[in-house]
Each structure stands twice: as C-alpha cells, then as structure tokens.
Chain A
Amino acid sequence: MGIFEVYHPLFNFFLLNVGYAFSQQIVLRAGVFSVATGGFAALGAYCTAILVVDYQVGEFLALAASLALGMLTGLILSWPLARLRGVYQAIATLAFVQIVTALLLYAEDITGGAIGINHIPRLATTWQLLIAVAIVTYIIFSIGRSGIGRAFDAIRQDETVAGMLGVSIRRYHILAFVISGAIGGLFGGFHALLVYSIEPALFGFEFLAMVLTFIVLGGKGSVWGPIIGTAIIVSLPEIARPLAENRQMAQGILMMVMIAYLPNGVYDSLVSLIRQRRAAKWDRANQEKSHAVAGA
C-alpha cells in the first residue's frame, strides 16, 4: 500500500488525462482535426467549480452539469465546423479554445479572472474517476465496434467513399463533436474537484499539445491507444528526473520521433505489425500447399 500512496496523486492525474485523451480521440477517429478538448475541459472545470464553490451544489449534480455543458457546446460548435476540413478545423477549434479562455479571463466577477477559482473542495475520489474512466472506455469501445465506429473509420479514410456507402458525413461529425464535448466537460469537472484551484492558463496551449500527444503516441484506432499514450506521458517524468525538468522538450522530441517513425502510434503500429505477420504467414502456408500439390 505504501508504494501506491506515493503514486496515488499520479494515478489520479493519469485517470483524468485518459478522459481527456478519449475526448480528443473520438474526433480524430471521425476524421475531424479538432483541438477543442481544451475548451470543453475549461468550461467543464469552471462550471463544476462555480456550482460547488458559489452555489454549494452537490458534486455529482455539478459534474452532470459540466457534462451537459460540454455536450451542448460540442453541438453548437459542430454546426459551423462541420463544413470545415483539416487544418481549417484545427485553426477554428483553436480559436474556440482562445475565446473560452479569454471569456474566463474577462468575466472576473464569476470566474476570478487570471487568478481563477481557489479553495475548491477536493471532492473527487480515485474510485469516482476510475468508474468514470471505465464507463467512458466502455462507451468508446462499444462505439468502435458498432456501425458508428465503422462510419467514423470510413469518413476518416475517404469522405467520398463514405458518402457512397450511405454515411452522412455531417451527421457523424456532429455526433463526434457532441461526444467529445460531453467527455471533455465531464473530466474538466473532475479536474476542478481534484486540484483545489483552477485558472484559465491551465487549459491553454500546453494542455492542447499534451492531449494531442497522448493520441499521437498511443494511436487513435482503439481504446488502448489513448490509455497507453497517456500512461507513457504521465509516467515519463517519474521514470527519469531529467525528463521532468525538461518536460516540454522531452515531449516535443518524443512527438517528432513518433511522427517520423511510428505515425500510427505505439499500439496501432503494433496491431498492424501483428496483422501483417499473420497475412505473410498465411501466404507462405498457401504457397507451400500449392507447391505440395504441384510436387505430388
């Protein structure tokens, strides 16, 4: 138990970030280059913090409100953004994050401006986080196995073909934004209930880069990619002290190496390697079979 106590805060931090990673993954899987997760998280965090601190709302109700707010924001955001593609989507969602953080800075009366909200009771427990992560993992897993996941895959790989297959790209992009917003909002709420104080700068560029790194590192094809990617990034500073001191640089180098050599992420690359091996083995077996027939 002693060792777990030491790493307990780290484990909480890991679970929180797995949630963010799923929020980021679902849009990427649908072929949407959105970085809006930071904005959803910021809205969720402030929503829960304000409800709990200023209005003494119970933590579950506050978290539910954060989830609903994220969902609604995702829905509204998807309307103009479903028309954009690729880098334009990235820039537009980046602008959304900036608008959110700017609003949080300016609405000082409600949000505390640059100082943020302090003295938030630390109400989130590891069990709650674990359950939330388990539920979200299950939902993402089920989506991946269902027609929705297949439609996302089709859109990501070729929108024209997806259309020919009867997939309404707009409808699925909206769905991806709504799910991403709901997950981002919920875990933003947990974030507020875990770290005592929040400020707009928490959800700025560094946040965005970190969440993207989880997916680039792990892979976007399955539920394991985000979990593995998050585990690596969260544990790196603990494994080697120098990495913690140069966290940003280490992350940057890791990103560049990954993109150059394993663009599909650790997990997805591993899976496709195994599949290729299996196909090669199958081909060899077949060749031997046909040789045997020819020999006989």
Chain B
Amino acid sequence: MLRVSSLAAAYDGIEALRDIDFSISEGEMVALIGPNGAGKSTLLNCLSGIVPLRRGSIHFQSEDISGAAAYSIARRGLLHVPEGRQILVDLSVEENLRLGELARGLRKSRFGLLEIYSMFPILQERRAQLAGSLSGGQQQMLAIGRALMGGPNMLLLDEPSLGLAPLIVDQVFDALRRLNAEGLTILLVEQNAHRALQATGRAYVLERGRIVYQGRSADLSSDSRVIEHYLGQEPSIT
C-alpha cells in the first residue's frame, strides 16, 4: 500500500533523514518508534507532502506521490493526524469534523458524523462547543475523527498519546486497534514505545534519521538492544 525507497530529506539544510526504505501492506498497523529528534515527525511530514524530499520516492497505492502537493496526497486518502492535534480552536467540534470531509473528494467514506459520534460519544455531547474548549484527549479524538471523515485508505498518526492521561491513552489506542481490525492501514509514530509495540504488528526503529531496527513488534519488545534503548526507562511523562 505504501512503499518508500531510499528517501532523504533535509530541514533547513541539515539532513534529517537518510536512506529510508520501508513498506506497509494493506491492513497492517505499523509502529515507528525512536528517540526525540530522530526524524519521526519529519518522515511523516514527507509522506504527507509537507516536507519536500531531497532524494528517493514514495509510492502510495502503486502511484508515485513523491513531490505531490500536500492537498493532493490527502485527497488520495493518505491522511495525516499531526502532532499536537492541530484542530481549529475557533471552530466548533462539528465544524472541525466537517472540515475533514474536504479531503474526501469523490471517494466514499465509511465514516460520517454518526460513525464518529458512536466511536467517540463525548464529541457528540460537545458538538456545538468550540474545539478549543475540549480537553487534550478530546482534541485528539477530534483530530482522529476529522481524519476519518476524509475517508482514509491509510492513516498516519503522529504521537497520539502525547500529553494525555494513561486512561485516555487507552481509549485512543483502543479506537485505533478497532479501526485497524476493520481493515484500516495505520502508521503510528510514538515516543511511548511500550504502547506502540503492544498495539502494532510490526515496527521500525528510527535513530538519527536512519532506520536501525525493524521487525515484528513482539520480537522488538523482547530484543535486548531495543529494551535497553527504548524500553529500559519507561517514559514518565508520555
């Protein structure tokens, strides 16, 4: 479904990603973990067309999308839920969800307002309120709901657990697992490596702009090197 070959990208002239090769098949849920500053967000931004590539190519549903504009990638159904949620705080919850429809174009979506509201009932209760008045967890649900409204073929999630209470993180991950079980392909970027490896089937570890390990999530969570680097100290904040 998604194939990235020898991708490189730079931020302000500094090379942030090198020789990135990976692919994700339809229906998979894959984690991308790694320390702060490893280039995880940059990689997602490359995939969704926000950061230009320096080298390499990206194929989505066997179409070459390297160098395509962000809006046209979104309209193909590769939808990005950005870090820090990035909802529009001056609009109501429902207006934010309706914004998601813009990516749909002529494609059909399994998700309408009803489906989103039944997945996250709190959003229905607060649908007329300004999105800025929601709690962090509710904003994350709104951001995911907004992307789903666009009828994604694949979802890119950047740190969905960032700054959320553990109980809320459970809710968000439950929703993601359910979506994946229903057939949605998901690429999940997380600093919270424990959670990410529990939730996914396969994982890549990114370090200083390169993929250093890859494998089944279950194997990685028992791999001594990975444990030492990423699981040894359970992150206390995230």
| Interface 9-mer from B34-42, B67-75, B112-120, B177-185 | B67-75
A158-172 vs B: 1/0 string, CB under 8 Å?
Answer: 101111111111000
Pick the 8 closest A-B CB pairs, nearest first.
A166-B103, A163-B70, A166-B74, A168-B71, A166-B75, A279-B133, A161-B86, A279-B129
B103-133 vs A: 1/0 string, CB under 8 Å?
Answer: 1110000000000000000000010111001
Interface check B137, CB cutoff 8 A:
no
B130 and A279 form a contact (CB under 8 A):
yes
Contact residue among B74, B99, B104, B128 (Cβ-Cβ distance under 8 Å from A163): B74
Residues in A neighbouring B4, C-beta threshold 8 A: none
Residue of A nearest to B82 (CB): A164
A164 and B130 form a contact (CB under 8 A):
no
B102 and A151 form a contact (CB under 8 A):
yes
A261-281 vs B: 1/0 string, CB under 8 Å?
Answer: 000000000001001101100
Interface check A49, CB cutoff 8 A:
no
Known interface pairs A153-B88, A161-B86, A161-B88. Does A166 touch B102 (Cβ–Cβ under 8 Å)? yes
Contact residue among A147, A160, A276, A278 (Cβ-Cβ distance under 8 Å from B102): A147
Within 8 A of B (CB), among A232-281: 272, 275-276, 278-279
Known interface pairs A166-B71, A168-B71, A278-B129. Does A153 touch B91 (Cβ–Cβ under 8 Å)? yes
Which residues does B use to contact A, with CB under 8 Å? 48-50, 69-72, 74-75, 79-80, 82, 86, 88-92, 95, 98-105, 126, 128-130, 133, 146, 150
Residue of A nearest to B70 (CB): A163
Interface size on A, residues (CB 8 A): 23
A167 and B102 form a contact (CB under 8 A):
yes
Best-surrounded residue of A154, A161, A272, A275 (most CB of chain B within 10 A): A161
Q: How distant is the Cα of A157 from the Cα of B191 in the complex, in angstroms?
A: 28
B90 and A169 form a contact (CB under 8 A):
no
Q: How distant is the Cα of A125 from the Cα of B146 in the complex, in angstroms?
A: 47
Q: How distant is the Cα of A276 from the Cα of B129 in the complex, in angstroms?
A: 8
A154 and B74 form a contact (CB under 8 A):
no
Q: How distant is the Cα of A9 from the Cα of B133 in the complex, in angstroms?
A: 46
Residues in A neighbouring B104, C-beta threshold 8 A: 166
Residue of B nearest to A146 (CB): B98
Q: How distant is the Cα of A151 from the Cα of B128 in the complex, in angstroms?
A: 19
Within 8 A of B (CB), among A138-188: 147, 150-151, 153-154, 157-158, 160-169
Residues in A neighbouring B71, C-beta threshold 8 A: 162-163, 165-169
Known interface pairs A150-B99, A163-B49, A165-B146. Does A278 touch B86 (Cβ–Cβ under 8 Å)? no
Best-surrounded residue of B70, B100, B150 (most CB of chain A within 10 A): B70
Residues in B neighbouring A278, C-beta threshold 8 A: 128-129
B90 and A157 form a contact (CB under 8 A):
yes
Q: How distant is the Cα of A167 from the Cα of B101 in the complex, in angstroms?
A: 10
Interface check A282, CB cutoff 8 A:
yes
Residues in A neighbouring B74, C-beta threshold 8 A: 163-166
Q: How distant is the Cα of A213 from the Cα of B208 in the complex, in angstroms?
A: 51
Known interface pairs A160-B50, A275-B130, A276-B133. Does A168 touch B95 (Cβ–Cβ under 8 Å)? no
Give 4 new A-B contacts, CB below 8 A, not counting A158-B88, A276-B130, A278-B129: A160-B82, A164-B74, A164-B86, A168-B72
Q: How distant is the Cα of A278 from the Cα of B98 in the complex, in angstroms?
A: 21
B82 and A165 form a contact (CB under 8 A):
no
Residues in B neighbouring A279, C-beta threshold 8 A: 129-130, 133
A164 and B70 form a contact (CB under 8 A):
yes
Q: How distant is the Cα of A168 from the Cα of B75 in the complex, in angstroms?
A: 10
Q: How distant is the Cα of A202 from the Cα of B80 in the complex, in angstroms?
A: 49
A42-69 vs B: 1/0 string, CB under 8 Å?
Answer: 0000000000000000000000000000
Q: How distant is the Cα of A167 from the Cα of B70 in the complex, in angstroms?
A: 8
Query: Could you tell me the distance in whole angstroms from the C-beta of A287 to the nearest C-beta in chain B?
Result: 14
Query: Could you tell me the distance in whole angstroms from the C-beta of B144 to the nearest C-beta in chain A?
Result: 13
Query: Could you tell me the distance in whole angstroms from the C-beta of B29 to the nearest C-beta in chain A?
Result: 20
Residues in A neighbouring B103, C-beta threshold 8 A: 165-166
Q: How distant is the Cα of A94 from the Cα of B86 in the complex, in angstroms?
A: 33
Query: Could you tell me the distance in whole angstroms from the C-beta of B113 to the nearest C-beta in chain A?
Result: 14
Residues in B neighbouring A166, C-beta threshold 8 A: 71-72, 74-75, 102-105, 150
Residue of B nearest to A154 (CB): B99
Q: How distant is the Cα of A101 from the Cα of B72 in the complex, in angstroms?
A: 39
Q: How distant is the Cα of A128 from the Cα of B115 in the complex, in angstroms?
A: 47
Q: How distant is the Cα of A239 from the Cα of B162 in the complex, in angstroms?
A: 55
